[in-house]
Structure 1
Amino acid sequence: MATGSGAPVAATRDDIERAHLLDPHDRTWSIARADVAPDLADVARRFWIPVWDVPDGEIAPQKVLQYPVCLIVISGSYTRFYGVVSGLSQTVLSGRGWAVGLMLQPAAGHLLTRAPVRRMTDRFVDLTTLDEHAAIDGTALTAVVREIMTPDPGSDAAQAQARSAVEAGLRRLLPVDEEGLLVNAIVEDVETSPDLLRVDELCARFDVSERTLQRLLHKRIGLGPKWLIRRRRLQEAADRLRDADAALAGIAADLGYADQAHFTRDFRKATGLTPGEFAARFR
């Protein structure tokens, strides 16, 4: 893993695989991840750049419990702005290809589209269709990234140049407004507080009413606080199920489920797998 400055850092499972329900036996693709430049920390979280070469006649499905943020993805064949996916996000890789993906901060979707992000929940649009209203020029940015990446998408130098090009476009979103900084803080608190299980607890932490919190989150991420807490619990469950000594009953209790059966139903509904089936991938 490389940072935005190109310096190597240790990759931790917590922030890399927590949301990605990867199949550990799939070797048809590789992925590089990098932080954004420090001045863009309020706008974006990180880049991911997959490069794949899937044998003819085969596919490589990718399943993700998406974080509560919008995404920008530019590839050789499409360029998209994604709203938050409330269920399981699925992408099927085939043939050969590459993509430059950017995970935004919760504040940024609204800054980019200049509209309530709830309109984009479970949807994506061509990034270039936002040009009339968006704060960045999706058409120009797509052309630049493709010119850089197409000759050798696996090149560290090409990937660094592509990241720099995207970052230059993002700086038009600065500075982030106070409401945006507040929603960034709220989402960060949920994602880093395993003991937070109730919406009223979240409201108390930020001294806001539940109605105000609902309006803020629907405007900036497109979904409400109950979904936000539930998504964090499921991501944490997926992370812990990778451990060989994981006990389902213990995970269910730690994450605030009434019983193991409730946890199993919730996890299967979100991922298509029971906790046991998911854990078996890593045994």
Structure 2
Amino acid sequence: MDDDRPGPTRGILRPAAIPAVYGLDRLPPSPALADLVALYWRVDWALAPGAVHDSLVISHPGVNLSVEPDGVWLTGPVSGTYRRQLTGAATVTAVRFRAAAFRSLVDRPIRELRDRVLPAAELLPLPADLAGRVQAAGDLAAARTVLEEWLRTLPRSAAPELAELDATVELIESDRTIHRVDQLAERTGRSVRGLQRAFADAVGLSAKRLIRAARLREVAERALEGTVDWAAVAVELGYTDQAHLVRDFTAAVGTPPARYARQAAG
């Protein structure tokens, strides 16, 4: 849902349309939880009565736990573009777990959580006062302290292969020369079928889908740079041609990249 890489808008679509009354903050985990947590994030908004902001994000892999006014929720890995309509005023504080690491906390394949939102208490032991303490925290740093006190108490299965999968996900995110699953398998010394099984169980999304999402986030970011040679970007990101890039981006975002760039500039 959010991003820990440099740049305040990476993955967030149409950032110019974000209301001025919308705030976003991110913090990394402490070293003791860096193998479990990707980042902590907090958003708050205060829209005028009747106003609606359509929030769109090309999601990053990983389960999110969010503390919201109506409860504590788990949002499973999102297979497409994450969309949420914001109204009124609220503050949401959340943890995004590393892509495979959440599997160490639960006794079920993460593919069962794909595109689902469910009460966090169905899968994790929640202290009765957790939500209240997080909501009362004055800023994200204070909320992180509360969340980490709880996270350290959670039982976790010993699974070294999860750390290897998280490293594989990071490779997808950082290396734009990886365009296909067979390339990823070769780089990691695993079989394509082995990667497919491991990703379904621990990440909840296929490696192919993660590669596509990483490319789409890159396309959206390039659109914010001004004049773009889309044919060159298509070649760089491994699309067969510019038309392929345009079709893929349009299917995910709802508008071609050049038009999206004009909208973003406006």
- TM (norm. structure 1) is 0.86
- Matched residue type, 1:47: Y
Greater Cα offset, 169-178 or 159-168: 169-178
In the alignment of these two chains, the number of paired residues is 259
Shift of 1:72: 0.8
Counterparts of 1:101-250 in structure 2 under 5 Å? 101-130=94-123, 134=124, 136-137=125-126, 139-146=128-135, 148-149=136-137, 155-156=138-139, 159-171=140-152, 172=154, 177-250=159-232
* Partners of 1:66 and 1:89 within 8 A in 2: yes
Deviations 1:132-162 (A, max 9, x none): xx3x42644224323x24xxxxx43xx3221
Shift of 1:193: 0.5
CA distance in 1 between partners of 2:131 and 2:218 (Å): 34
Q: Provide the rounded CA distance (Å) in 1 between the counterparts of 2:155 and 2:99.
A: 13
DSSP 3-state at the match of 1:276: helix
Kept in 2, the 8 Å contact 1:81–1:124? The answer is yes
SS at match of 1:281: helix
**Structure 1 pair 176–20 and aligned structure 2 pair: CA distance change class (3 A):** farther
**Unpaired stretches in structure 2, ≥5 consecutive residues:** none
Shift in Å at residue 272 of structure 1? 1.5
In structure 2, give the amino acid aligned to 1:252.
Answer: A
Question: What is the aligned partner in structure 2 of residue 12 from structure 1?
Answer: 6
The 8 Å contact of residues 42 and 176 in structure 1, kept in 2 or not, is answered as no
Q: Quote the offset at 1:232 in angstroms.
A: 0.9
Give SS of 1:273's match.
Answer: coil
Q: Deviations over 1:220-254 (max 9, x none)?
A: 11111111111111111111111012222221121
By how many angstroms is 1:58 displaced? 0.5
Q: Which amino acid aligns with 1:24?
A: A
Residue identity in the other structure for 1:117? I
Q: Given the superposition, is the C-alpha separation of residues 114 and 139 from structure 1 closer, same or farther in structure 2, using an over 3 Å criterion?
A: farther
The aligned counterpart of 1:275 is 257
